[in-house]
A and B are shown apart, each in its own frame.
Chain A
Amino acid sequence: MILNIISILFFTAILYFSSSPLVFYLLNGLSICLILLGLFFFLGTSIGVIRFPDFYTRMHAAGKGDTLSSILILFGIALFVLNTGTLSIGLVLVCIKILLIINFIFIGSPTATHAIMDAGYGTEVKHWTNDSEGIKKKK
């Protein structure tokens, strides 16, 4: 959390002290890269969620990829928002709010995943083994 805020303050400082267009393009490029990376991870998540054979492996895809992709996209958007127009306190505040969302997702999503996993284990969801489904399909 602190790391997030420090990083956004760092970018703010860069924007504040340098007014060259290069910084503008660099930051925009960075944010687009982050968003595209996030989308890529989300693609992985969704493929994982539908293609993995059992609940636990799907959980693996959903829990990690989902959180990471959300964080990346949101961070990219935060940078983009910081970069629009003239720098002002309101803009930085919006950025900090987006960072707060990142933190909440960072805490909340894995907790939810953990709870669901726990419940799935408790209710004895069958896990996939090498010979359970694959062989049936071959026959």
Chain B
Amino acid sequence: MIWQFDILLLTLVVVCGFVSLWIKDLMGAVIVFGAYSFLMCLVWTGMGAVDVAFTEAAVGAGVSTIFFIATVFHTSRTIRYNKWDLSTKFFSSIICILMGFFLMVAIGDFPAWGDALSPVNNNVAKYYLENSMEETKVPNVVTSVLADYRAFDTMFETGVVFVASLVIFTLLLQSDGRKKLMKSAFQKVSFLNVSESLIIRKACGLMVPFMQLFALYVVVHGHYSPGGGFQGGVILGASLILLSMAYDIKKVFARFHMKFMIKSLAVGVLIFAGIGLICLILGGNFLDYSALSKLFPSMGSIKSRYNAMLWVEVGVALTVMSGMFAIYTSLSSNGKFEEGL
């Protein structure tokens, strides 16, 4: 925490929030909201929550703005007014202020920021910090908490990504889109027939391999540095989104078809849950990775935990990547899967 940074950043964040509500052109609001998430990332960084900052960076900078733009692309850009608008605003602002007041009331009761004696630092978190290295051999405690101590939560969070993508895909898939989707699996795509300018195409061609390489690095290196399956998956998805923006959705479909995407969406969660199930079959509890050492006797129970976490991260990355791409293609092509943004 550097107080000068905090004051400036928080001012900017609050102003950003107000402006994005205030602008009536939805595209403008979306763009300002993008700046909001940039700044939020800096706020998290200032608080030392590096993994959260990374997630915010990957999601905020990479995909969420694109999702908003793709949504606005096929809907309306303006807000329609009705005569109740003012009164609704009035009531909702009263409710917001009340809620803010409620939240503020309790703040005086909180322990000081970074207080070593606060209950949070002395109960469960202390155990994690002290024992994580011994029990899992993973230096990044966030990863070991997410992928091992509370792996069950993470499994269902991956499930949330799965459900969200499946819902958006199912809702937007129109009947003619379904036929085209089936057909396009067997279609040859001409790579020369693209509309986007040469500069963007070339720049994206330069960036995408680096992006994917970096994403794989983030997935694999999550044990040692901030990052992990989720962030890596988002960056992978963003690289596919970038490719489909620079060329065409069809070109990306030639490599990763939508049917494949929906399958890999499920497979990612199944890898995660399947590892848990194998542990259960081998005689441990569900997601008790140390039971895997019965399958590979050369690894001790700690080493098998370490390795299982890696596979779990891979599963998460697979789901998130295909989820992001499925959401983008569904939104930007309005369920027709012909051409996107």
Contacts and interface: CB of A to CB of B under 8 A. Distances in A.
Please tell me whether chains A and B touch each other in their complex, using a CB distance cut-off of 8 A. Answer: yes
Interface of A: 100, 104, 107-108, 111, 114-115, 118
A114 B207 contact: no
Interface of B: 197, 199-200, 203-204, 206-207, 210
B199 A111 contact: yes
Contacts of A108: 203, 207
B210 A114 contact: no
Chain A contact residues, majority secondary structure: helix
A107 B199 contact: no
Contacts of A107: 203, 206-207
B215 to A, nearest CB: 13
Question: Closest 9 CB pairs between A and B?
Answer: A111-B203, A114-B199, A107-B203, A107-B206, A115-B200, A111-B200, A107-B207, A111-B199, A118-B197
Nearest to B196: A115
Contact of B207 (A104, A115, A118): A104
A107 B201 CA distance: 12
B280 to A, nearest CB: 40
A30 to B, nearest CB: 26
A78 B210 CA distance: 20
B104 to A, nearest CB: 34
A108 B210 CA distance: 12
A104 B210 contact: yes
Contacts of A104: 207, 210
Nearest to B199: A114
Given A104-B210, A114-B197, A115-B200, 6 more contacts: A108-B207, A111-B200, A111-B203, A114-B200, A115-B197, A118-B197
A8 B197 CA distance: 34
A68 to B, nearest CB: 18
Residue among A100, A104, A111, A114 with most chain B CB within 10 A:
A111
Contacts of B200: 111, 114-115
A101 to B, nearest CB: 11
A108 B199 CA distance: 11
18 contacts: A100-B210, A104-B207, A104-B210, A107-B203, A107-B206, A107-B207, A108-B203, A108-B207, A111-B199, A111-B200, A111-B203, A111-B204, A114-B197, A114-B199, A114-B200, A115-B197, A115-B200, A118-B197
B227 to A, nearest CB: 13
A55 to B, nearest CB: 14
Nearest to B206: A107
A100 B206 CA distance: 13
